[in-house]
Each structure stands twice: as structure tokens, then as C-alpha cells.
């Protein structure tokens, strides 16, 4: 054998079939346990090396045949083919798959190491790519991959699953492949990613995700390198079910090298496919696999964040615990961070909330402390979000608070972030009854002096001619947080209480106090231990002081002067001339006021109204009784504001008037019609507020409270029906929420209103109004199941509403915007099911609801002529619940109706006939014995049967009358045609 080494000659003397004989035994051993996999992989690799060394000469004697490699490859493919038919979830099959993948990875790593050693021995700086491509392991992987790709097209779903699963595991061992092989692999995976089996799609996602590695080096804001994902996330008890489907979901996101020059474009297409699967795949496990394997980049990050709203709680937890921690906190925008905090910490699932808290704590560590962490949030507009985030940090990373010293230096250099931290941390300590509270919380006197100091700085900034908006905003946040801290302070110290009380009165009386600080200042006043009556007196005095230069007061006095014109008739001519001159001078003086003065007075009016609004929100006593001083504010401030022509002033006046109506019934009687008209004349947020006030008045005082004034229940119901026709989403949702509350409280029982709510819930026009749909989706089950009387009302409107919705559905061009009529009918049947009604001591159960509904449906089949409508009713009949306690005479009556229907109004289609037969058979089977026991006298005397026969007779008579009318019309038409013919003949004769 010329040209062969001594080792090759010795290997050629052996039989290749004997070399591959141990392979079957090794694969059999790997099925039992994972513990022996490493030993078996080494043994199989030794067999592979021996086979790779066995070669034979070609026929011409010029080249070598890789006989040993071929034999080894055939044996491996045979073993692989056997595991391809093993179903998902069989442990033995999973162990063999992992063993095969581990062996291939070990063989590729071994060859790579040998090449590196050879290159180092030769002193080469670069590896020989040709040598890499021609290595034994590379050839084995290519052959095995080509074999498995054939399994992608198998009809057997198990074979497709195992083939894609193995390919997903083998991709890491491909090394560098040519562009054609890459495109074939990618095309095959793209086909399987649309497989009808979710398990196959999941493995295709895992495999395809490993082809996106070319974007690693160029992605901004994502993972720096695909190898970063090799570190498995920290495990806890909640993460075990993430692995329930497949361990390959956590496979490394290891890039595959390819030789195409258009690799960036190709990888982008892969990412787009994965993004599409992440958003629209129906299977939660497929979305989870995509979520865990899709690399975070600026383009994929928004979709990854969207999975925090996934319907599956495991996916939501996976997003917070395994995906989002890979993204640096600075890569999120401020809005994205706030949204993540709200979604995660408000989640109903405890495990998801825990994962979100851990993520937020990790952000704080990444930022290097609590104060830098707080500065990430918008403390002016996202206070609640920042509070939630800090609460998570207090729970998960309490050690970060040890680096913060709450001493004199802290208060001397206080910032918005530190003030917010102080208030939030002290509130947390109070909530948890921590012993650290006494050491950290400042005494009331110290806090009052601190607020006074910061308030002085804010006033200087506000009154400065050169305004610094950033400095004003920061100073305002500091004052707001300190006042909020004062609200929860301990006022056991009388000196501190008086100091804080005087400070709050001074702030409320200051003309420069921002409107956002008025409510917290009033809360601190209330916390000072004063009674409500004294609190009202103090606030009213403050408002009166502010109103000393109020435009509303001036306007009112001017109006009063105008109203006294009738008194001028009794004066002499000189006095009248003098008074006229004074009025003219007053008018000229009013016109001479500058725009700045008018603006200032308007701001003062709005401030007075803001204080009045905050006051009314915090008192509970009647205006004309316990808090009679408020009545003066209503007459002197609120009523002129409602009459004002300025939109902002009138809006605040209407809100204050509505709050007053909630405290005083007589004011509600006087103002309800005014507010009702304004609810139709205004728009936007003000319209929503007025509607909310009106519904609160109806809930508080009842819908009959205005009967003596001319707006009794009928007028109120007409008003409610009119509000259901609102076009703006917010306004329509507000109206629906108010009506739903009235119906749940039992104040409104109108069936027409209930029917309109049913139409709104299913109609396509409300598909985009999620607030309205969510409200009604809660209302109907709660309303129906809590009281059988409510179920009866819904049943009374069901058939009419269903017919209307069927017509709307038929007229739609895009049927996807609305639920099919059959589904609507099934939902109505479910809501009216007596079996689902709650047990209540206030209402007797009504078991006959569905029976009465069945009678109505069968009677409707007599008069209904449309095929689709009759089919819909027949399909719903078998879904009705007919209890065993129904009187047998009623059942006899219903069966009589059905028999007459089949005889006189036969159904046209097979589906309707079968459904009606099933319903009739179920009745006969359930009540057959009772029906047979009925005597002829009972049947003759039964009122139910008499009414049924009368209905059938009337229906048949109506049909005969209609037929006679049709015949008469046909005869008249025929007679008219004969007369026309005779006239035509006569005319021709005359001619």
C-alpha cells in the first residue's frame, strides 16, 4: 500500500464492522441515566477516532476512501433514526438526544483543539480553513445534518419534532458553513416555524435563534456577545416550570459563522421572523422559547417588553427574570422603565411580581446606589411609579440604604431625589413598624423649619423676573415631598404642631402657592387634630382673604350695580347723571387695566376655586347644616364661576358645584338639570368629570330624588340612554361605568337600558374601546349570577338583542371585528344559566329561565322565515338547561309546539333539523315517564296546552290569511293584465 503510514496499514487490516459494533451498546447504555454520559461520550469518540483512521484505496489506487468514517456515519444515522420515532416526553429518548448532541460537540471541540495545536507547532498565526472543513467531525456533522433535514418533511409529527430538536442541538457544532448550506438550513427551519404542532415550532425557534448571532457585534443596547447567554440564570423554585417543555429553550445563543457577504441582511430577516412569532404565535411555549432566545437589540427590545403583558404568567415571569436582566438599565427609555415597573409590581401573579421586584433591585445595584436609582424616574409626573420602584428596592436590597446618612448634611444638601427618598423610606418604616423610624424621621419642629426654608427659596424663584424653570421644578418637588412627609408625622409635640399649623395656613394664604401643593397642605391641616367645623372655618377665611382682589367678586358687584338700574328711576335728574358718570368712570377704569392684571386676577380666581374644590373633597358634613360657612362660598364664589365666560374658571366652578351637590341634596335638586345640560355642551376631560359627578349624585340620592322638580325616573332613564350614544371613547366608557354601577346597586332595572348594554358589548363599533369592553365583561357575569331576577331580565332581552346583532354582523365587510352570532348566543345562554347563579338569601332561585327561553325560541321559529336565523335558534336550543323539576304539563306543551313546528313549519337545512331533534330527544328521554303518566283529563284541562293550541291555531290562521291576500293580489294583477289586453284589442279594432 504505497503512500500509507504504518498506522494506516495496521488500521486497514481490521474490519470496519467490528469497529462500529460497540455503538449500539453505548446508545443503549445512555438511555438509563445521564450520569454515565461523559464516560460513554469518551468511549464513542474513541470508536470514532478508530473509524476515522480506517481508510481504503480507491480502484485506481491514487486516493483514499474514508471507509471507516462511512461505516461510523451509517451506524450513527441508524441509531438516530431509531430515536426519531420516540414521542416527546419519553425520558429515554430525551437522554439519547442529549447524548448524541454531547458527542458531536465533544468531537468538534476535540478536532478544533488538535488543529490549534498543529498550527502552534507549525508556527502559523491563522488556522487553515480548508483543514477545518475537511476534518472528520465536520464531515460527520454535515452528513448528520443532511439526514435530519429530510425528517423535517415527514408526515409523522414525532419525527418532525425529534429531527428539529436534534438540529437545534447540532447547530452549535456546525462551525463555518458555506452560504448554500446556510440558506438550505434556514429555509428548512423557516418552514418548520409554521408547523401546525407547537412542539415542532418551539424547537424550530430554538434552532433559528442561533442563526441571528451575526448581529451581536453590531447591535446597540443589546447583549455585547452571544456567549453572554451561556451563563444560566439564577435558579429558584419558581423557575422549574420554565423547563417543563424542553431544556433546549435555554440553549446558548451561539452564533453560526457563514460565508455570505450579505450576512447582516440575512440575520435581520431571521430576527424579523422571530419577532413575528413572539408577537402572534398562539402557543405560550413557542412564545416563551422565542422570548428566551431572541437577542435583545434596539429593534427587538419593544417586543420583549410587550411580553410582560403576555396572557401566560410563566412567560411574564420569564421576561422579568431571564430576558430583561440582560439589558443594561440605561438602555431603557424613561417611559419604558416606568411601564415595566407598573406592569411588574402591579401583576396579580405573586411569582411575576417577585421577579419584577428582583429586576428593580438589580437596577438599583447597577446604578450604584439608591439616590442615582431615584434620579432615573420623573419625580414630577411619575411619583407613584417611583414609589413602587423604591418599595421593591427596600424589600430586595435593604443593604443599599446603609450607605445613606440621614444627618444634618443630608438635610442641608437636600435634592428632589433625596427628599423623595426620605419621604418614601420613612413611610416604609412606618408601614413595617421598624425600630429605625425614631432615628431617621425628623421631629415636627425640625420638619417645619425645613419646609419654611425650602418654601422661601421657591418663592424667590417664582417671583424672580428671570425664571429658571428647572430650578423651580426641583424646588417644587422638594417642598411637595416635605409637605407629604409632614402629613404622616407624629404631632404629639404641641409646639411642633402649632408651628406646622401656622406654616400651612401661611402657605395656603400665599398668592404664589402652586396649585399642586394645595391638597397636601389641607391634609396637613386636617392631621393637626382640629375638628371638621374648625377646619372649614379656617379654609373659608383663607379663601375670603384671597378673594379680596378677586375678579369674580368685582364682576359680581358690577352685576349687582347693573341690577339696581330699576332703582335709578326714583332718583332726580342730577343724581341720575352723577351716578351715570360714576359708572362710565368705572368702566373706563376697568378697560384701562392691563392684560397682566387681568391674568393675575384670573389665576387668583382659579386658586380660590382650587382651594374650595380641595375643601369640598375633604368634608363630609352637610353644607347647610354642619358646615354652613361653605354655603357662603357657594353663593359668592362657585355660582359666579359657573356663570363666568372664561372656560377654565367655569370648568372649575362646575366641578366645585358637583362636589357641593354630593354634600347637600337641596343643592343637587337645584343644580342637576344645569349639570346635565353642561354634560352635553362640554367635551373632553370636563365632560367626563361632570358625568362622574352626575352618576355619583344618582347613586347617593337615588333616581327618584328629582321627581318633585320634574325630572323623575323617566327623565333620568332618557338621560342615561342618551349618554350611551357618546362617540368619544372616554366619555362613552364613563357613561357605561356609571350606568353599570346604578344597575349593580339595583337603582335601575330598565330592560331597554340593559338591552343597549348588550348591544354595546358585542357591537363592532366598541371594539377599540377597551375600557368600555372591560367594564361590561365584568358587569354581565356579576349582574346575572348574583340575582335570578337579573338573569330573567337578561333572558327577556336576549332574543331581541341577538336578532339585532345578527343583522349587524351580516352587514359587516370585515367579520373579524365582531364575534359570530352563534358565539354571542352561547354567551347569552351562559349568563342566563340558572345553575351558575349564586346562592342568595335575598332571592329565590329561578330554575325556569331557560325553559321559558326555549318556549320563546320555538315560538319564534314559527314566525321566522330566514334560514340563518332559524338555524341559529336551533343550534342554541340543545345548550339550554331544562331542570327535572319542570311541570310535565309545561314539557308537554313545549313538545306539542315542536311537533307542530316540524309538521307545519319544517326546517330546511340538516344542521337545524338535527339540533331540534337532539333537543326534542333530550326532553323525551328526561320526562318520558312523567309524560306517559298524564291522563287525558289532565291534558284537556291544562291551561298551558290550551294556550299552546291557541298559539298554533293563530299562527296557522295568520298563514292562511297571508296566503289569501297573496292570491287576491295575484288575481288583481292577472285581472289588470286582461283589461289591458282587452283595451289594446279594442283600440286596434277602432283603427
Q: What is the DSSP string of 174-212?
A: --EE-HHHHHHHHHHHHHHTT-SSHHHHHHHHHHHHTT-
Lookup result for grid cell 397636601: 520
The answer to whether 756 and 722 have CB atoms below 8 angstroms apart is no
- pLDDT, tens only, 466-497: 888 889 999 999 999 999 999 888 888 888 88
Q: Which of 319, 263, 260 is nearest to 291 (CA)?
A: 319
Give ∠ CA 82-87-90 in degrees, rounded to 5.
95
CA gap 861, 908 in Å, rounded: 12
CA gap 989, 557 in Å, rounded: 98
Burial of 554 (C-beta count, 10 Å sphere; 0-12/13-18/19+): middle
Mean pLDDT of 236-250: 43
Q: Which of 33, 32, 30 is nearest to 41 (CA)?
A: 30
- Cα atoms in the Cβ-side hemisphere of radius 13 Å centred on 356: 29
Mean pLDDT of 172-198: 82
- pLDDT, tens only, 941-956: 777 788 888 888 887 7
CA gap 20, 74 in Å, rounded: 9
- pLDDT, tens only, 309-328: 999 999 999 999 999 999 99
Asked whether the predicted pLDDT for residue 262 surpasses 60, the reply is: no
Q: Which of 634, 611, 637, 638 is nearest to 624 (CA)?
A: 634
CA gap 987, 991 in Å, rounded: 6
Asked whether the predicted pLDDT for residue 890 surpasses 50, the reply is: yes
Which residues on neighbouring strands pair with residue 65, listed in sequence order?
56
Burial of 859 (C-beta count, 10 Å sphere; 0-12/13-18/19+): middle
- pLDDT, tens only, 709-751: 888 888 889 989 898 888 889 999 999 999 999 999 989 999 9
Q: Which of 637, 697, 629 is nearest to 669 (CA)?
A: 697
Long-range CB pairs of 748-754 (<8 Å, 24+ gap) are 748/703, 748/717, 748/720, 749/793, 750/717, 751/793, 751/796, 751/797, 752/717, 752/721, 753/717, 753/720, 753/721, 753/724, 754/793, 754/794, 754/797
- pLDDT band at 762; cut points 50, 70, 90: very high
Asked whether the predicted pLDDT for residue 558 surpasses 50, the reply is: no
Q: Which of 840, 829, 931 is nearest to 881 (CA)?
A: 829
DSSP state of 232: P
Mean pLDDT of 285-299: 91
- pLDDT band at 565; cut points 50, 70, 90: very low
Asked whether the predicted pLDDT for residue 752 surpasses 70, the reply is: yes
Q: Which of 751, 765, 734 is nearest to 795 (CA)?
A: 751
The per-residue b/e assignment along 518-541, b for 16 or more CB within 10 angstroms, e otherwise, is bbbbbbbbbbbeeeeeebbebbbe
Element (H, E) at 64: strand 64-65
Asked whether the predicted pLDDT for residue 265 surpasses 70, the reply is: no
- pLDDT, tens only, 833-878: 998 888 776 677 888 899 999 999 988 888 888 888 889 999 999 9
The phi, psi pair for 658, rounded to 5°, reads -65, -40
Tally the residues of the chain. Answer: 991
Give ∠ CA 876-879-880 in degrees, rounded to 5.
100
| pLDDT recorded at residue 955 | 77
Cα distances from 778 to residues 255, 749, 785, 831, in angstroms, run 48, 18, 11, 12
Q: How many Cβ atoms sit within 10 Å of the Cβ of residue 228?
A: 14
The answer to whether 127 and 63 have CB atoms below 8 angstroms apart is no
| pLDDT recorded at residue 875 | 92
The answer to whether 916 and 879 have CB atoms below 8 angstroms apart is no
CA gap 418, 403 in Å, rounded: 13
- pLDDT, tens only, 132-143: 456 788 888 888
- pLDDT band at 11; cut points 50, 70, 90: very low
- pLDDT, tens only, 398-451: 998 888 888 888 888 899 999 999 999 999 998 888 888 888 888 899 999 999
The answer to whether 706 and 714 have CB atoms below 8 angstroms apart is no
The answer to whether 136 and 48 have CB atoms below 8 angstroms apart is yes
Task: Please indicate whether residue 8 or residue 74 has the higher confidence score (pLDDT).
Answer: 74
Lowest mean pLDDT across 189-203, 507-521, 623-637 = 623-637
CA gap 318, 314 in Å, rounded: 6
Mean pLDDT of 249-274: 51
Q: Which of 381, 460, 366, 365 is nearest to 416 (CA)?
A: 381
- Which cell goes with 206? 430554538
| pLDDT recorded at residue 821 | 92
- pLDDT band at 573; cut points 50, 70, 90: low
Helices first, then strands: H and E counts in the chain: 47, 4
| pLDDT recorded at residue 636 | 80
CA gap 8, 782 in Å, rounded: 83
Alpha-carbon dihedral sign for residues 943, 946, 952, 953: negative
Lookup result for grid cell 326534542: 920
CA gap 317, 356 in Å, rounded: 8
CA gap 632, 671 in Å, rounded: 16
Q: Which range scores top for mean pLDDT: 432-436, 463-467, 973-977? A: 432-436
Task: State percent of the chain over pLDDT 90.
Answer: 28
Mean pLDDT of 327-342: 92
CA gap 178, 183 in Å, rounded: 9
3-state DSSP assignment of residue 949: helix
- pLDDT band at 201; cut points 50, 70, 90: very high
| pLDDT recorded at residue 214 | 39
Q: Which of 140, 145, 124 is nearest to 47 (CA)?
A: 140
What mean pLDDT is reported for the chain?
Answer: 81
CA gap 962, 985 in Å, rounded: 35
Task: Please indicate whether residue 888 or residue 215 has the higher confidence score (pLDDT).
Answer: 888
Lowest mean pLDDT across 574-578, 605-609, 929-933 = 574-578
CB-based contacts of 569, cutoff 8 Å, min separation 6 = none
CA gap 923, 901 in Å, rounded: 16
Cα distances from 264 to residues 171, 227, 260, 948, in angstroms, run 19, 19, 9, 77
CA gap 832, 241 in Å, rounded: 38
Lowest mean pLDDT across 195-209, 546-560, 889-903 = 546-560
The phi, psi pair for 28, rounded to 5°, reads -65, -35
Amino acid at each position: 500500500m504505497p503512500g500509507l503510514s504504518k498506522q494506516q496499514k495496521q488500521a486497514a487490516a481490521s474490519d470496519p464492522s467490528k469497529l462500529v459494533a460497540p455503538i449500539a451498546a453505548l446508545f443503549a447504555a445512555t438511555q438509563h441515566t445521564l450520569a454515565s454520559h461523559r464516560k460513554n461520550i469518551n468511549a464513542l469518540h474513541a470508536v470514532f477516532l478508530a473509524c476515522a483512521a480506517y481508510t481504503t484505496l480507491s480502484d485506481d489506487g491514487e486516493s483514499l476512501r474514508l471507509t471507516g468514517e462511512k461505516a461510523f456515519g451509517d451506524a450513527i444515522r441508524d441509531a438516530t433514526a431509531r430515536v426519531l420515532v420516540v414521542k416527546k416526553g419519553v425520558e429515554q429518548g430525551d437522554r439519547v438526544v442529549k447524548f448524541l448532541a454531547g458527542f458531536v460537540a465533544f468531537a468538534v471541540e476535540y478536532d478544533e483543539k488538535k488543529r490549534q495545536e498543529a498550527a502552534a507547532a507549525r508556527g502559523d498565526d491563522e488556522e487553515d480553513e480548508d483543514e477545518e472543513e475537511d476534518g472528520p467531525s465536520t464531515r460527520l456533522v454535515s452528513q448528520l445534518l443532511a439526514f435530519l433535514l429530510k425528517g423535517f418533511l415527514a408526515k409523522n409529527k414525532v419525527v418532525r419534532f425529534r429531527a428539529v430538536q436534534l438540529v437545534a442541538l447540532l447547530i452549535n457544532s456546525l462551525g463555518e458553513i458555506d452560504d448554500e448550506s446556510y440558506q438550505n438550513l434556514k429555509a428548512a427551519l423557516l418552514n418548520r416555524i409554521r408547523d401546525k404542532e407547537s412542539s415542532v415550532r418551539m424547537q424550530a425557534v430554538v434552532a433559528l435563534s442561533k442563526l441571528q448571532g451575526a448581529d451581536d457585534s453590531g447591535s446597540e443596547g443589546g447583549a455585547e456577545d452571544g456567549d453572554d447567554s451561556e451563563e444560566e440564570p439564577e435558579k429558584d423554585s419558581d423557575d422549574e416550570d420554565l423547563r417543563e417543555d424542553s431544556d433546549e429553550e435555554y440553549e446558548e445563543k451561539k452564533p453560526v459563522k457563514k460565508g455570505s457577504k450579505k450576512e447582516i441582511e440575512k440575520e435581520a430577516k431571521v430576527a424579523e421572523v422571530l419577532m413575528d412569532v413572539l408577537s402572534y404565535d398562539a402557543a405560550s411555549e413557542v412564545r416563551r422559547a422565542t422570548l428566551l432566545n431572541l437577542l435583545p437589540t434596539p429593534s427587538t427590545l419593544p417586543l420583549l417588553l410587550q411580553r410582560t403583558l403576555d396572557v401566560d404568567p410563566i412567560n411574564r415571569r420569564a421576561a422579568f427574570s431571564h430576558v430583561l436582566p440582560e439589558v443594561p438599565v440605561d438602555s431603557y427609555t424613561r417611559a419604558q422603565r416606568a411601564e415595566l415597573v407598573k406592569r411588574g409590581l402591579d401583576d396579580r401573579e405573586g411569582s411575576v411580581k417577585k421577579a419584577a421586584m428582583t429586576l428593580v433591585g438589580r437596577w438599583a445595584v447597577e446604578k450604584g446606589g439608591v439616590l442615582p436609582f431615584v434620579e432615573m424616574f420623573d419625580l414630577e409626573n411619575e411619583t407613584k411609579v417611583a414609589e413602587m420602584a423604591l418599595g421593591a428596592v427596600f424589600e430586595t436590597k435593604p443593604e443599599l440604604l446603609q450607605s445613606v446618612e440621614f444627618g444634618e448634611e443630608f438635610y442641608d444638601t437636600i435634592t428632589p431625589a433625596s427628599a423623595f427618598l426620605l419621604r418614601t423610606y420613612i413611610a416604609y418604616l412606618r408601614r413595617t413598624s421598624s425600630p429605625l423610624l425614631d432615628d431617621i424621621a425628623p421631629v415636627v419642629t425640625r420638619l417645619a423649619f425645613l419646609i419654611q426654608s425650602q418654601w422661601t427659596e421657591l418663592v424667590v424663584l417664582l417671583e424672580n423676573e428671570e425664571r429658571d424653570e428647572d430650578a423651580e421644578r426641583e424646588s417644587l418637588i422638594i417642598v411637595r415631598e416635605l409637605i407629604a412627609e409632614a402629613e404622616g408625622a407624629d404631632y404629639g409635640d404641641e409646639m411642633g404642631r402649632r408651628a406646622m399649623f401656622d406654616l400651612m395656613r401661611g402657605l395656603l394664604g400665599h398668592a404664589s402657592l402652586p396649585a399642586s401643593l394645595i391638597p397636601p397642605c389641607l391634609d396637613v391641616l386636617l392631621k393637626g387634630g382640629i375638628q371638621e367645623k374648625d377646619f372649614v372655618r379656617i379654609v373659608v377665611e383663607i379663601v375670603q382673604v384671597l378673594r379680596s382682589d378677586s375678579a369674580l367678586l368685582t364682576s359680581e358687584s358690577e352685576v349687582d350695580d347693573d341690577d339696581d338700574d330699576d332703582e335709578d328711576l326714583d332718583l332726580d335728574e342730577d343724581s341720575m347723571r352723577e351716578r351715570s358718570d360714576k359708572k362710565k368712570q368705572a368702566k373706563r377704569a376697568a378697560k384701562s387695566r392691563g392684560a397682566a392684571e387681568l391674568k393675575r386676577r384670573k389665576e387668583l380666581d382659579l386658586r380660590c376655586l382650587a382651594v374650595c374644590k380641595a375643601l369640598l373633597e375633604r368634608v363630609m358634613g352637610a353644607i347647610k347644616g354642619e358646615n354652613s360657612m361653605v354655603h357662603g362660598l357657594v353663593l359668592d364664589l362657585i355660582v359666579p364661576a359657573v356663570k363666568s365666560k372664561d372656560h377654565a374658571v367655569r370648568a372649575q366652578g362646575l366641578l366645585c358645584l358637583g362636589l357641593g351637590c354630593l354634600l347637600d341634596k337641596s343643592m343637587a335638586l337645584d343644580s342637576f338639570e344645569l349639570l346635565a345640560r353642561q354634560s352635553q355642551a362640554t367635551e373632553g376631560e370636563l365632560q367626563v368629570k361632570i358625568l362622574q359627578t352626575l352618576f355619583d349624585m344618582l347613586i347617593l340620592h337615588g333616581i327618584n330624588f328629582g321627581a318633585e322638580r320634574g325630572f323623575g325616573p323617566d327623565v333620568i332613564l332618557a338621560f342615561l340612554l342618551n349618554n350611551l350614544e357618546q362617540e368619544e371613547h372616554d366619555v362613552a366608557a364613563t357613561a357605561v361605568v356609571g350606568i353599570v354601577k346604578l344597575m349593580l346597586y339595583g337603582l335601575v332595572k330598565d330592560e331597554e337600558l340593559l338591552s343597549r348594554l348588550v348591544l354595546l358589548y358585542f357591537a363592532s363599533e366598541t371594539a377599540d374601546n377597551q375600557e368600555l369592553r372591560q367594564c361590561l365583561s365584568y358587569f354581565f357575569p356579576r349582574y346575572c349570577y348574583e340575582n335570578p331576577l337579573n338573569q330573567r331580565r337578561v333572558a327577556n332581552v336576549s332574543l331581541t338583542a341577538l336578532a339585532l346583532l345578527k343583522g349587524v354582523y351580516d352587514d359587516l365587510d370585515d367579520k373579524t371585528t365582531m364575534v359570530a352570532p352563534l358565539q354571542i348566543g352561547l354567551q347569552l345562554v351562559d349568563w342566563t344559566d340558572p345553575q351558575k347563579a349564586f346562592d342568595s338569601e335575598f332571592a329565590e332561585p329561578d330554575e325556569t329561565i331557560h325553559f321559558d327561553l326555549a318556549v320563546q325560541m320555538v315560538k319564534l321559529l314559527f314566525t321566522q322565515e330566514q334560514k340563518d336565523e332559524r338555524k341559529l335558534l336551533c343550534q342554541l336550543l340543545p345548550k339550554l338547561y331544562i331542570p327535572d323539576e319542570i311541570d310535565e304539563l309545561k314539557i308537554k306543551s313545549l313538545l306539542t309546539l315542536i311537533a307542530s313546528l316540524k309538521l307545519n313549519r319544517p326546517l330546511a337545512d340538516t344542521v337545524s333539523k338535527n339540533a331540534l331533534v337532539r333537543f326534542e330527544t333530550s326532553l323525551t328521554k328526561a320526562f318520558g315517564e312523567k309524560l306517559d303518566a298524564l291522563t287525558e283529563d289532565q291534558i284537556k284541562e291544562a291551561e298551558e296546552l290550551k294556550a299552546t293550541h291557541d298559539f298554533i291555531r293563530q299562527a296557522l290562521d295568520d298563514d292562511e290569511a297571508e296566503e289569501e291576500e297573496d292570491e287576491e293580489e295575484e288575481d288583481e294583477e292577472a285581472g289588470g293584465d286582461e283589461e289591458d289586453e282587452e283595451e289594446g284589442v279594442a283600440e286596434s279594432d277602432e283603427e
